[in-house]
Amino acid sequence: MVVGELNVDIILNGIQGFPELEKEKIAESMTISLGSSSAIMAANSSVLGTATSFCGITGDDSFGKFLIDELRSKGVDTQYISKWKDHKTGATIVMNYGIERANISYCGTMEFLTMEAIPWKELGSFDHLHISSIFLQKGLRKDIGTILKRAKDKGLTTSLDIQWDPEEKWDFNYRECLPLVDVFLPNKKELLALTQSPDIETGLDQLKAHGNWIAIKLGEEGSMGYADGKTIRCPAYKNPEYVDSIGAGDSFNAAFIKKFLSGAEPRECLEYGNLMGALNTSSVGGTGAFESLEGVRQKVKSLFNFKT
């Protein structure tokens, strides 16, 4: 079960310079795709073979219909998604500049998702709960400790990807919450900001006493993990057909959790996460590279000489 935000990504590529007040810039291409960390993770988890349900809120509008249709096309169970008539579905304008990008988001309905929307009676029939983007979802963040504890009490394993805090306040009590998180999935920048650390090693040291499995996404440097008292580094896969990195971290999450749920060792989870994160960058948006499991297998074989 993935609980989280739903918004569309409006992706602009080939932009002629940076935005300036009172001036207009031209983009060479535009793509509208399934956005939001939680939804991308859910869609790609399903394609990779993990039975996935989604709990969230959209507006009763064209963007909301688009998102639900996209999730269903990937095999995600959408019965726990509510449509609200009084609020609009969120959207993110993504301005791509090579491997870097700038985002502007309208949160829309994602701000109104709370723990009351979670199907608690049915949750016990699931194996795992994943939550992402807590700083964009204030309704979830205020009860994140309670949500994690209730999920653990029902026998679920849990994973959390906090994502970036737009306000940069980092109001998340990791000392209290991480003992309830089986897999914590920050990237390098988030780890350093959350722990107020000068480097990865110092930041990881801050988390070790509180976390279980920790997987740190390092972009072109691969990933770093901590589990069972051991620190592991895994190099990245280099994609010769790079397009953009939107959703690469979410694809890493989907792959890592798939292996975690299968009982794999931490290194195998990290390696598979790196592989799918790299595959993600071969297509526009967060889900374009994940059309089918067979397509994924063929693509990673041709790009990385990897057989799944």
pLDDT tens, residue by residue, 37-94: 999 999 999 999 999 999 999 999 999 999 999 999 999 999 999 999 999 999 999 9
3-state helix, strand, coil in the chain (%, to 5): 40, 25, 40
C-alpha separations of 21 from 29, 62, 106 in Å: 22, 30, 20
Instruction: Give per-residue pLDDT as tens, 24-52.
Output: 999 999 999 999 999 999 999 999 999 99
Q: Does the pLDDT value for residue 99 go beyond 90?
A: no
Q: Which of 130-134, 188-192, 261-265, 303-307 has the lowest mean pLDDT?
A: 303-307
* Mean pLDDT (whole number) for 202-215: 96
Average pLDDT over residues 138-156: 97
pLDDT beyond 90 at 276: yes
Q: What is the mean pLDDT of residues 215-224?
A: 97
Residue 98's pLDDT band (boundaries 50, 70, 90)? confident
Say what the pLDDT of residue 101 is.
85
The helix (H) or strand (E) run that includes residue 183 is strand 183-184
Q: Which two structure tokens, joined as six digits, stand for 269?
A: 């989870």
> CA-CA distance, 85 to 305, in Å (whole number)?
48
Which residues, in sequence order, are CB contacts of 196 under 8 Å at separation 6+? 170
What is the value of pTM for the model shown?
A: 0.94
Q: How far apart are the C-alpha atoms of 236 and 48, rounded to whole Å? A: 20
**Rounded mean pLDDT of the chain?**
96
Q: What is the mean pLDDT of residues 157-161?
A: 99
**Rounded percentage of the chain residues whose pLDDT exceeds 90:** 95
Architecture of domain 37-89+107-304: 3-Layer(aba) Sandwich (3.40)
